[in-house]
Chain A
């Protein structure tokens, strides 16, 4: 058994992450100011929101870089759930926050060290309060300017404001606390928001039984997985010009029994018009009376179907309810 099999949730990318790292679609950069056990600054580090330490089962006491989202298929499923565009908006907001807040965090980090040192003075106390006020005002301005973007990704700014404030105060006052990640904790968020701030996602409802161990097709961005209940396929990842033939073949190769054919698109991150055409043609190739039923169709795909006039085809059926 290979190492990978033992640790399907191992982060396979080189770390520390390069500044322009973009290989992992679920990557969410976050920077933190590390300190030693006596709160002396150890510099700024770039990591991924989803990167944690995993315990090696065979080798107690040893750790491996673990992705909190899970294995590659789980990462893709997570991405499909929150949508890549949403991850990118959160990523952009994160970068902008990191950018304007870094000087504030640096100054506060130093002041915090002085505050918890033995030689603290009244002046330090006042200094810290001034820095905190300045930081919170800057955060207010940032949240106000970007209200629409936060709202768009499902992050209400009011609880976020409160949360950040409490974090900052707690972090400055509590020597034991490691550097907080600014939006990393909270029960204040609704569940879709939890998903992309790095908390464990709700498990995807298993409406369909997927045979992960026997994918029909695999490349670096797409897996085509047979499903047994109901009979059909699940597409997980990206369908584009480079793999659309594989999708067409898989659809054509479905058992020619009777009844409807089901395609689970809930794990789809992207599908181009060629991919849509392959699906539409597969539906048209079915004998009269049989339908191709699409489940978990991403909203974006539904719109594309409408724009190119493919939505009202008699043998193509879109199941309205989402997978969850």
Chain B
């Protein structure tokens, strides 16, 4: 179905969450197709946050001119290096403007060619989860640009599965491939690729958490990590392993390997996760427990969570060469 209404809409067409993929080819088209959306927000006095790469921020500032002071810009490589941190950032922005009777707009480009294979998979997962995370948002219009010039066609196709609406600068149409909110948040049980050579394997139970910490710390140091990321990884691995001991059948298995420039710690148990947004919600100070995965996502470069009836797998990734 092709809609012939001009893009972008200026008026409040529909309330609720609008999650659109915007297809473009190259920087020039990026600016050309996002600028009207930003100007539309400014004209309607709607708060807008743009989370893209640094060069794109610069290009948009130039295109918009003086008015760009009223636009919030954030660098996607700060906010979304780990894509699981993007939904909390949008939550924060939307909540800050809720109740003002105005629509809130955003542009976020979490998927770009520099993403590694694992990062890409998790970024696509993030796009799917957005549909559920803001399902009940009062009025939030989010545009996700996809560069058809540099991205693999399969990546652009997946954008059709994760966005109910596709825009291309001339008009927009609803996506035939979009499966709906419920299917977007279905438990993510697609198996992860098996690692190559393992550095270490350890079966642990309640009294084995100290061994988990010791092994993770040593392997992280041997992999070339500096003290701060080592301590971060140890804390994250300990929390995930504690989940295994307390909710995942009392025991689990730790495996550690290196994947090029990344050190991966995997924790597996027999438990089951049924809340796919569990690690995307900022914990409240009064809740008891339930902070482990949130913390892991804030500390690690990437967290991969897969759960099915046969068990749960969490992989924690840390870049080996980074000194934060």
The answer to whether A and B interact is: yes
Residue positions of A touching B, CB distance < 8 A:
22, 25, 83-86, 88-89, 91-92, 95, 146, 148-149, 152-153, 221, 238, 240-242, 270, 272-274, 277, 280, 300, 304, 307-310, 313
Number of B residues contacting the other chain (C-beta, 8 Å)? Answer: 40
Q: List, in ascending order, chain B residues with CB within 8 A of A309's CB.
A: 282-285
How far is it, in angstroms, between the C-alpha of A149 and the C-alpha of B220 when the chains are bound? 12
With A83-B231, A304-B295, A309-B282 already in contact, the answer to whether A88 and B217 are too (CB < 8 A) is: yes
Smallest CB separation, A157 vs chain B (Å): 15
Name the residue of chain B whose CB is nearest to the CB of A309. Answer: B285
Q: How far is the CA of A22 from the CA of B215 in the complex (A)?
A: 9
Q: Is the CB of B218 within 8 A of A272?
A: no
Q: Is there an interface contact between A240 and B238, defined as CB atoms closer than 8 Å?
A: yes
Q: Which of A86, A95, A270, A308 makes the CB contact (< 8 A) with B213?
A: A270
Closest B residue to A148 by CB, please name it.
Answer: B323
In the complex, the answer to whether B226 meets A148 with C-beta atoms within 8 Å is yes
Within 8 A of A (CB), among B251-308: 282-285, 288-289, 291-292, 294-295, 298-299
| Contact across chains for B242 and A313 when beta carbons are under 8 A apart | no
Q: How far is the CA of A310 from the CA of B246 in the complex (A)?
A: 23
Interface string of B181-219 (1 = CB under 8 A from A): 000000000000000000000000011011001110110
- Among B217, B221, B226, the most chain A Cβ lie within 10 Å of the Cβ of B221
- 10 extra interface residue pairs, beta carbon distance < 8 Å, beyond A22-B214, A152-B323, A272-B239: A91-B218, A92-B221, A146-B224, A240-B210, A240-B238, A241-B245, A241-B246, A242-B207, A270-B238, A313-B285
Provide the B153-196 mask, 1 if CB < 8 A to any CB of A, else 0: 00000000000000000000000000000000000000000000
User: What residue in chain A is nearest B246 (Cβ atoms)?
Assistant: A241
- Taking CB atoms, residues of chain A closer than 8 Å to B245 are 241
Among B227, B239, B294, the residue within 8 A (CB) of A89 is: B227
User: With A83-B231, A274-B242 in contact, do A242 and B224 touch (Cβ < 8 Å)?
Assistant: no
Verify if B128 is at the interface (C-beta below 8 Å from A): no
Q: Are B214 and A85 in contact (CB under 8 A)?
A: no
Contacts of A89 in B (CB 8 A): 221, 225-227, 230
Is B222 in contact with chain A by the CB < 8 A criterion?
yes
| Contact partner, B209, options A91, A240, A273, A280, Cβ 8 Å | A240
The 5 closest A-B pairs by CB, nearest first: A88-B221, A92-B221, A85-B230, A152-B226, A85-B227
Decide: A277 and B289 in contact? CB cutoff 8 A: yes
Nearest CB in chain B: distance from A282 CB, A: 14
CB-CB under 8 A from A221, the residues of chain B are: 210
Q: A85-B221, A149-B224, A304-B235 are in contact. Are A273 and B295 (CB under 8 A)?
A: yes
